[in-house]
């Protein structure tokens, strides 16, 4: 089992953690957000957190919209904190831009620890002899001079379920893949489209649908994918009220993925954020449906704050068949 961090984000830094909060820098703005696993004491004084930060997210207990399974909250902002801003991420020839914003759920449009998976996805597609890609500059990128990518010959087909704002979709597309991006929340899909545009990319297929229902239909249609990316939440709702509970549904979804994934040279990336699920759970789930696959890797993502305390940020499983 591996512990993976990433120290090469120029636009992200975990500054301090403790008292169930984290102090983070995204570009030039510093945010305070809840972090239930940071049960230790802060290094910096509360007054320093207040001085440094531009906005603090506070959960409002019991504040839920109809059908929501998670509590909402509010942002206490200083005057210089904008509604939206952009950060960038670079790896080899992959240059991404993320339009960030302050949401009622505390998310801002990116999960920085997923950069490890973006790199993995990009490398698997580019390095495989099965897929051939060619890059070119795009004249359409409005906010940056980032490159876009055009495909030649047999591109990889990649399915991203519970895709959120699409960092993994962008990584696959930047590597030359044909990408199907599935999320149940239409405004999130709109947000992901904006991020694709500012990253100088195009032609991702967007699907607003419940992930499980989409996977079931794809199996019935006889479709297959060269790569499948799964980033399921602990709880969620589909566009028609479908209820997702991780421990109740993940085994069926892995079984569907087994039918959808190409048996040779296909890759699977699974991330789990539920505090009750270790990487060993992911390993047993996948092995029960796929059998033993050489090269399967599992582990845990984390970031270190400036005091070198490691904050766990979910588990991962990655494998190429």
CATH number at residue 305: 3.40.50.150
Q: How far apart are CA 166 and CA 228, in angstroms?
A: 13
The pLDDT assigned to 234 comes to: 84
Count of the separate structural domains present in the chain: 1
Q: How far apart are CA 20 and CA 41, in angstroms?
A: 9
Model confidence over 114-139: pLDDT tens digits? 999 999 999 999 998 555 444 433 43
- Which of 35-44, 237-246, 283-292 comes out lowest in average pLDDT? 237-246
> SS3 for 100?
strand
Cβ atoms of 94 and 175 within 8 Å: the answer is yes
Q: Which domain holds residue 16?
A: 2-320
The pLDDT assigned to 134 comes to: 45
The pLDDT assigned to 235 comes to: 84
292: pLDDT strictly greater than 50: yes
The pLDDT assigned to 143 comes to: 36
67: pLDDT strictly greater than 80: no
Q: How far apart are CA 320 and CA 226, in angstroms?
A: 10
The pLDDT assigned to 240 comes to: 84
- Mean pLDDT calculated for residue range 240-255: 92
The pLDDT assigned to 300 comes to: 95
146: pLDDT strictly greater than 70: no
């Amino acid at each position: 089992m591996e512990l993976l961090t990433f120290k090469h984000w120029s636009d992200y830094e975990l500054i301090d953690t403790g008292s169930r909060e984290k102090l983070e820098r995204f570009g030039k703005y510093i945010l305070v957000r809840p972090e239930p696993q940071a049960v230790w004491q802060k290094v910096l004084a509360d007054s320093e957190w207040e001085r440094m930060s531009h906005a603090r997210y506070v959960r409002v207990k019991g504040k839920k919209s109809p059908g929501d399974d998670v509590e909402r909250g509010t942002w206490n902002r200083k005057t210089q904190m904008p509604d939206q801003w952009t950060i960038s991420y670079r790896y080899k020839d992959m240059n991404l831009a993320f339009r960030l914003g302050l949401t009622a759920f505390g998310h801002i449009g990116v999960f920085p620890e997923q950069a490890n998976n973006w790199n993995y996805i990009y490398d698997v597609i580019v390095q495989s002899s099965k897929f051939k890609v060619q890059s070119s500059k795009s004249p359409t990128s409005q906010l940056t001079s980032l490159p876009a990518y055009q495909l030649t010959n047999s591109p990889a087909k990649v399915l991203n379920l519970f895709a959120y704002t699409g960092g993994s979709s962008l990584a696959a597309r930047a590597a030359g893949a044909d990408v199907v991006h599935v999320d149940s929340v239409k405004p999130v899909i709109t947000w992901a489209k904006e991020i694709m545009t500012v990253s100088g990319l195009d032609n991702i297929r967007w699907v607003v649908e419940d992930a499980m229902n989409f996977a079931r239909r794809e199996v019935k249609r006889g479709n297959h994918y060269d790569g499948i990316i799964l980033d399921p939440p602990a709880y969620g709702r589909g566009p028609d009220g479908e209820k997702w509970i991780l421990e109740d549904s993940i085994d069926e979804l892995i079984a569907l993925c087994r039918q959808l994934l190409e048996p040779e040279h296909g890759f699977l990336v699974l991330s789990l954020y539920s505090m009750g699920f270790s990487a060993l759970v992911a390993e047993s789930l996948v092995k029960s449906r796929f059998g033993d696959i050489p090269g399967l890797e599992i582990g845990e993502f984390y970031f270190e704050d400036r005091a070198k305390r490691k904050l766990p940020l979910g588990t991962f499983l990655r494998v190429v068949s």
